[in-house]
Amino acid sequence: MALTWKDVIHFSVKGNPVPDNRVEKSEKEWKELLTPEQFRITRKKGTEAPHSGALCSVHDAGKYECICCGTSLFDSSIKFESGTGWPSFTQPIKENAIKYSKDTSFGMTRVEVLCNTCDAHLGHVFPDGPPPSGLRYCINSESMKMTKENDNG
């Protein structure tokens, strides 16, 4: 069943689905595992410049996984061109893959999306996506790695 904007708001206000597992590391451990840019975006809630991410123009079949913990987040079949300059998806790979949090930074109210396994900042979700869900998950390329369908690892 597809998530809707109502579901997203419910999760951000009432609590998120329980993840399949949790990955927790210290800031020092994350810094050792990630590039400085990956760390800035995923652990410090940064944003990459629009149209700069390596995954913006990738349209191969496969899975998009959290760069921090490897959790599957999105499937290529629900990726679409939003024209925003960031990879965009209509749904997470499964309901409990994503954590939702109200974000009031920069003088606006948005819904931040994080990896539900390790709390990595991924981007934001908006209610202006294509049917049937109407959702647009706007995700930083630096927050993910893409595993092509024919890859073995």
Mind telling me the catalytic residues? Answer: 138
Which residues contact residue 116 at a Cβ distance below 8 angstroms, ignoring those fewer than 6 apart?
Answer: 16, 17, 19, 71, 96, 97, 98, 99
- Return d(Cα 153, Cα 110) in angstroms, integer: 35
Query: How far is 82 from 76, CA to CA, in rounded Å?
Result: 14
What is the three-state SS of 86-124? CCEECCCCCHHHEEEEEECHHHCCEEEEEECCCCCEEEE
Cβ contact 117:23 at 8 Å? yes
Q: Side chain identity at 151, as an amino acid letter? A: D
Q: How many CB atoms lie within 10 A of CB 85?
A: 14
